[in-house]
Structure 1
Amino acid sequence: MTEVTRPPLTADERTQLIGWLDLQRSFVRMKCRDLSPADEHRKVLPTSPLMTVAGLVAHLRWNEYSWFQLNVAGVPDTGQTPWTDDGHVDAEMFVDDVPLAQLLDEYDEECARSNAAIADLSLDALEQGPPSMRAGGGAASLRYVLCHMIEETARHVGHLDIIREILDGHTSYTE
């Protein structure tokens, strides 16, 4: 059984929020551990062909970038994102030719950049990105973004859990 580290029971709000997000982030790599190369990009849901292990990891990586770099920090998009005005809404999930190990490394690096981007910000700090990049058109607080990213990451960890069980029977925290 894999040991998981949860945030302290009595920590301050910031420590709790980042701790819960980091915990969910750690589950992403855990759910991908020892997955066969044949299953990294296997499509198991006929109505959702982009919902693969690799596709979900890529989606989570770009969500980290979008929310923390573009929205919170207000870093200008220099065209490195997979999205274009006339492109597919889920363009970040088109990764059939990208190895899962690379996607996981990129995800870990993005999570580290996310934490660095918010290290000195108050939970009340508002998004700095242009209005088109902001949640619902208005500026959200860092507190809101952290809560959203906990929800977003946990939801997709659940997807990874289900897909992994379909692929090879691997469940929960067992090795």
Structure 2
Amino acid sequence: MSEVSRPPLTAPEREQLVGWLDHQRSFVRMKCAGLSEADAHRKVVPTSPLMTPAGIVAHLRWNEYSWFQLNVLGVPDTGQTPWTEGGHPDAEMLVDDVPIGQLLDEYDAECARSNAAIADLSLDTLERGTYAIRGEAASLRYVLCHLIEETARHVGHLDIIRELIDGRTGYTRLE
């Protein structure tokens, strides 16, 4: 995904929400551009060894899937997710053996699936899945706001991790 522009200042609510989410999503690939496999999997935060560029991309991919497919659409988990009963709580980030290019392609594909899944839904649509927060279903509007926050927060993590790896900062295009 190449960098996506900010949504228009006076766009309707849906266009603003999806636009800001797409804008943040586009920075994920940008922050990972040019990383070697070793750097993409390098553990630079001693207290959070799963916080690697690869781990973050995988985490964001599975968050997209979880929120839009499992929660909003109510698609049953048929075992395709990395989470298992009694398994590691951050299993989606255990990707030391997965190439960063594959993880980025899977993330981009999941983002496209997410957008397609919600294209015809009202922002007032409530979650259909059984994974609701505190037993209460959230609206699609809430989910979009949450994913904007989640993605932006992890883009910030990628920014810091990238600076620790090779000194690159900001929104410098690396491709």
Asked whether the equivalents of residues 55 and 95 of structure 2 are also in contact (C-alpha less than 8 Å), the reply is yes
Q: How high is the TM-score relative to the length of structure 1?
A: 0.96
2:142 aligned with 1:144, yes or no?
yes
* 1:137 maps to amino acid: G
Deviation sequence 1:10-66 (CA, Å, 0-9, x none): 100000000000000000000001112220100001100000000000000000000
2:36 aligned with 1:36, yes or no?
yes
Pairwise mapping of residues 18-37 of structure 1 onto structure 2 (< 5 A)? Answer: 18-37=18-37
* 2:144 maps to amino acid: L
Residue in structure 1 matched with residue 6 of structure 2 by the alignment: 6
Percent identity for Structure 1 against Structure 2: 80
Asked whether the equivalents of residues 4 and 22 of structure 2 are also in contact (C-alpha less than 8 Å), the reply is no
Aligned length: 172
Partners in 2 of 1:117 and 1:18 — Cα distance? 12
Residue in structure 2 matched with residue 103 of structure 1 by the alignment: 103
Residue in structure 2 matched with residue 75 of structure 1 by the alignment: 75
Asked whether the equivalents of residues 132 and 138 of structure 2 are also in contact (C-alpha less than 8 Å), the reply is yes
* Structure 2 runs not aligned, ≥5 long: none
Counterpart selection for 1:168 from 143, 166, 169: 166
| Greater than 4 Å deviation, 4+ residue runs | none
Secondary structure in 1 aligned to 2:17?
helix
* 2:39 maps to amino acid: D
Asked whether the equivalents of residues 72 and 128 of structure 2 are also in contact (C-alpha less than 8 Å), the reply is yes
Partners in 2 of 1:40 and 1:23 — Cα distance? 22
Deviation sequence 1:85-132 (CA, Å, 0-9, x none): 1101000000000000000000000000000110000000000002xx
Q: How high is the TM-score relative to the length of structure 2?
A: 0.96
Alpha-carbon distance change, 65 to 87 in structure 1, aligned in 2, over 3 angstroms:
same
- How far residue 136 of structure 1 moved from its aligned partner, in angstroms, is 2.2
Residue in structure 2 matched with residue 155 of structure 1 by the alignment: 153
Secondary structure in 2 aligned to 1:76?
coil
* Structure 1 runs not aligned, ≥5 long: none
> What is the root-mean-square deviation in Å for CA atoms of aligned residues?
1.1
Partners in 1 of 2:3 and 2:60 — Cα distance? 23
- How far residue 3 of structure 1 moved from its aligned partner, in angstroms, is 6.5
